[in-house]
Structure 1
Amino acid sequence: MPPEKTPQIAEQAAAAFPIVGIGASAGGLEALEEFFRSVSADSGMAFVLVQHLDPSHPSLLTEILQRTTTMPVLEAEDQMTVAANTVYVIPPNRDMAIFHGKLQLSLPDEPRGHRLPIDAFLRSLAEDQQEQAVGIILSGTGSDGTQGLRTILGVGGMTLVQKPETAKYDGMPASAIQAGYASHVLAVGKMPEALLNNTRSLSADITTPSPLRPTGWINKILLQLRTSIGHDFSLYKKSTIGRRIERRMAQHTIEDADVYVRYLKNNPEEVQALFKELLINVTNFFRDPEAFTVLEQDILPKLCLDKPDNYVFRVWVAGCATGEETYSIAILLRELMDKSQQDFKVQIYSTDLAEAAIALARAGIYPPTIAQDVSPERLRRFFIKEDKGYRVKKELRDMVVFALQNVLKDPPFTKLDLLSCRNLMIYLEAELQNRLIPAFHYALKPGGVLFLSPSESIGNYTDLFSALNRKWKFYRAIHSPTTARTVMTQVVSWAAKTDDKPAEEVMQKPKETNFAELARRVLVQYYAPASIITDGNGDLLYVHGDTGKYLRPAPGQASLNIIEMAREGLELELRTALRGAASDGVATLNKALQVKTNGGFSAVNLSVRPLSGAEATPNLLLVSFQDIASPAKPARKRRAKPAELGRIEELERDLAYLKENYQASLEEQQASNEELKSTNEEMQSTNEELQSTNEELETSKEELQSVNEELITVNSELQTKIEQLAGMQNDMKNLFDNTHIGTVFLDAKMLIRRFTREATQLYRLVASDVGRPLADIKSNFDGEDLLANAQQVLDCLTPFEQEVHTHNGAWFLVRIQPYRTLDNIIEGVVLTFTDISKRVAAETAVQLARELAENVVDTLDKPLLVLDSHLQVVTANRAFYRYFHVTLADTVGRKIYDLGNRQWNIPALRELLEIILPRDQAVEGYLVEHDFPAIGRHKIRLDARRIVGKTSEPSLILLTAEEIDTVPVPESLENKA
């Protein structure tokens, strides 16, 4: 990383965000609700939820989860771009993947019961997001999600698994934990905090300048790791190693490298955890399917062409992890031999640095998720279905030898036809890569094939290999004197102990030619006798030299047993020697025999030795044949005595008798063996039938289990929906009970659907009346036909409203409106009855009071006006109309100044009403003299009073007039008038 943060890195830091893939199944709804209640709405992460859903039932998951979080919860759509602080839910009957940050939806390829949607999405998430990927496994049955977590760990991502004891169903969490693919095992409520810590760690990786993180801190940790474990990672790529170490430090909230070194010294289990973290044990069956198609169709047929039956096809898979790639190559070779009807021996050496991975590979048991990568035909042909998954069949397992090996230090296997080393060198510095390529060339036969990953290459060693397929990295080894010199000058010093010195010092030493290895190969080729390696039963495993003088194919069914292949004169002694060496460990050395070859007998020394040693497989025997070059000259014949001749004849007869008995015993034993073979074949046939039946039962069990998980998920969603509806029903009941509004719901046929308690005051309803026509129920109204109005509302969709009264004198406001569903469909009408008895009574009282007041006013003999706040006439009494000769129509509702041709537009009256009265509230004896057109000039006395109502009511003015011609008028008032 450069000293300063480049604009590109800054842009990545701003744009990149973790995408969290969450897998859940049965019992996962409760865990999901708890998880999203604990996650902050601005966490900066995106969440993609994959659950086992019923393909024929719509999912309520989006609606349910939206109630637990303020983040948007969306049902995923094809090509939808994933955004931070958003939750995406897989729709039913869809497979989902992610590519370049966009969700990809497709119809499932697998039948119901065989789908593994969680694994599929998590694997695509790891490939797309690399170290930004996060995988979470919650409650559920089965093992879906385990392989997905494995892929995420392999790219440097983070994996979290729910504690099994807190999960409603612990199958999925337990599977991930037992496989070792859970970096955190937490309760659901603690997962958000771990996610936030991981987000901060990722941000630091992107944004922290390199001067703050010198490479020395990594070397300190790697030194401690080498001291404790014995493996040196100093020449692995620092970027990969650094990220994985930082992830372990973040899990323990340690920021200082020195503190972490001390933590490693005091916690041996953390050393093992870090070692496991640094090992890249990620693979799967037929990884890069196109590459394996090329291997199957182009590479292997040419390598196996014209191979004799006694040929040993040797393969080395370096960095095999848990063995999936090894068994993939074995499957292709077995299929090729069956197709071409070849039966040569195949020996595959599969090595790795991780002991735990080798143990899993040796067991040959893989989870059900391999069905994503292995075709059903190959699963049936090469695997046995078990409760935990699939077990590799014996015929495939016998082709492979698994072993621990450090490919950087230990010597390679040799004379290989095929060498596969995929996705190992991408984690190594160029220095180590330059050491491995010549070593691989040394291990291959002339014309042997090197198989690398698409991200790897042979570098500058184009003189050692020729490209067979550049896209998928198949290379053929070139052997010539020039390449031999190149290899001998560049080959790795496997025997050298480099652990005690830094890698830099080791690489500075000049390369030395391995003369011992060259001498050994020449001596074996020219001086070692023809030899054979067999197992304890005499079955041929390996042939060195020309053994045709001593062995020949037996007539009948082909066999690789050397006793059956032995020539005349060799069979009896060979059988005895093999039995003694295999059972008792007794070697037979230089046993002189006469072997019939080409019509005559040749003297041969036979030696049979048990093979021993740390690397030798038990019960291996070495059988050697060596011609006796100069047999001793025959002694001069002497005449045998008659007694000796008789004894010789007797011994020859005994020998012939023994040979006949021995031959008869052999024939009987062979017949017994044939019967046993026939019985064994019948047993195998029966076993295969039982196995087929068991596989069918297992398939049915898986389908039932999958359907059961889907039903549990649907049941959980429905249970949540029921609880929600129950809450809504309680709310509606309390709403109706507290509003005191009678309500009757009718369907399109005017049948009662539901009614409230207050509706029983209007109709004589009981609970059993639901479903009956409302016309059958007697009402308490007086002559009102509401059903006809209801039918009209249903036909015209026009609301109806009317006031009605009951027999007991109560008044109700009836409203009839259409009943609309959420889909805007009319399914009936709703009748509501609001009690307005008090309002009607109040209005009646007001009306009576008004009539009483008007009658009182009309009895007065003085003219009277009632004005509002705007000086408009509200009412006037009869005396006013009579005295001033005006009518009701010309008075009420008009402003006082406009009455009678504006005869009241008097300045003195304006002063009274607009100035004096608002100030004094009441004025008595206000004299006004004016020439009224209807009655002439008169002097009148006005009394005015302002009546102020409540805050929300307008004020009124009472104005009375009285003629006072006999009363003297004051000079001041006259002047005013």
Structure 2
Amino acid sequence: MPTEPDDQFEAVLTYLKETRGFDFTGYKRTSLARRVRRRMAQVGVDHFSDYMDLLQVDPDEFDALFNTILINVTDFFRDAEAWEHIRRDVIPALLAERDPDEPLRVWSAGCSAGQEAYTLAMLLADALGPEQFRQRVKIYATDVDEEALTQARQASYTTAEVENLTEGQLQQYFDQQGGHYVFRKDLRRSVIFGRNDLVQDAPISRIDLLVCRNTLMYFNAETQAKVLGRFHFALAPRGILFLGKAEMLLSHSRIFDPVDLKRRTFRRIPGVPTGLGSLVTYPRVPERAGEVGGLDELREHAFSAGPVAQVVITGDDIVALINQQAEALFGLSPRDIGRPLRDLELSYRPVELRAYVEQAKVERRPLRIKDVEWVRAPGDSVWFEIHVNPLVHTDNGLLGITIVFHDVSAARQLLEELEHTNRRLESAYEELQSTNEELETTNEELQSTVEELETTNEELQSTNEELETMNEELQSTNDELQAINDTLRERSAELDQVNDFMETILTSLRLGVVVVDRDLRVLVWNRGTEDLWGLRSDEAVGEHLLNLDIGLPVGELRSAVWAALSDSTTEDVLLIDAINRRGRNTTVRVVVAPMRNQAGESVGAILVMEPSDARPEDARPEDHDPEDHDPEDHDPEDPGPENPSPEDHDPENPSPEAD
């Protein structure tokens, strides 16, 4: 590929920065240009100007170019000897320097696909135990490659990608899902992934262990110095920086001390200015171009007007300076200057300061007291981060102690909200990841179902043809069933006629007819029985015969009825004294016969009742139709219902209608 002017290549870098926010201007030009030309050769473009035109029309080309520039070469426990040094020496030292409950913050800068971050998680979980790890450790893993971050968040790796891990590590820290190994979800929550450009974006602060391996070597010297300054700001006092074996710049740095130069571990030098607003505890006297008058008064006013509360004490713990913020916040006044610190409420509230002051004197190093809560009133709390800094003379003599109270209430609230939001996002992401896996599984099942449906469709085509044949047969059968149905309706009509005929017979009989089943429940109670006893059919049917309250002493029928139900072949004829519906005494002739089915088995009993002394007046007047009366048939000796005889006259019941 022909050599092109540098300005055309720089134009491509400027376009990437303006359109996508990636600033590659700090990368080494030789290696950077070589990688861009490699991508241009892959897409068949010869000139940088033509390639910039391709980037403008094809947005997907950006991802391919970034993957080429940002070579994501990483692995679990890459360079095993260096990681063994971290496990054996660095992590135990970090834990020994911190309280048992103090959080531990780790930053994996340039994490690529996440293997480095999860390697750190495994080492710290081994050192602390899973429970302490979940409570104390936060690992911030950053990169500029969104595609690599997406893979890292999934925490899923192939068998080839985990070949450096032992069988015990796989069983302890990974769950096998199909052909992949997925990092444990409960430990995964402590690893937070995000995009961060080391050159442009603000660094993460208060880091105890910062891992940035084989990333700085891609930057030029100026950019490396800038990034190292950010790392110095990011690290906590005595924080550890872990670099790759190809990076040698820090061996000559004045802001980091080598811990193990061979394995590229360095410790942050405290108190060295980094250009990011750190507090200078080792003062130096700058060279002055000329004398400035009134410096003492100027310093006093500048100190008094400082934005944060600050108190300065001498080496003998005598209060020397109090600024306006401290006076307003803690109720101090200029009269307190010259008093011993122990006499002030400030010495023990909001936190016991005297022990920290003594420690700063002895160790000659700044101390930071985090998460100090001061409850000024119920429901009114202020959170401080207090810095206790020794003021050391050039000959290492102690001048005094400055105590600075930083109000971090708003920052703490924001941090809590951010952590809460992060937990929700992590939970949502895990649910989304789980849903995605379920969808992939469902997709495979659906694909299999489609194939089965295609086979089923062919079977249904064949079945459809069979059903058409069966439908024709069913149509013929339906015609036959219709003819049978017509016959059944005719038979039903005939049966209705028979039932009506039987009902007519039973109604026409002047005799009382009662039919009972084997449980002595009344099945038939005809019109003659109603006339005889005055009890309607709907009142008697379904009732127990022996429970009927009528003029007939039904108890005397018990033995005859049970005889009829016991398959007796004889009929019993009984004469029973009773009281008819008119209240008159009468003698009733009762015939009890068994009711048999076609098999000859007794299924009930039939009782036929007839008054042995029946007289015409016992009949109901409404049973005689005047139109049917023939005068020629009248017997003059028979008084009849219209001409009752004197002996039948009842003064209390003068006419049959009265009954």
Structure with the greater alpha carbon radius of gyration: 2
Q: Provide TM-score, normalisation by structure 1.
A: 0.30
Q: Provide TM-score, normalisation by structure 2.
A: 0.44
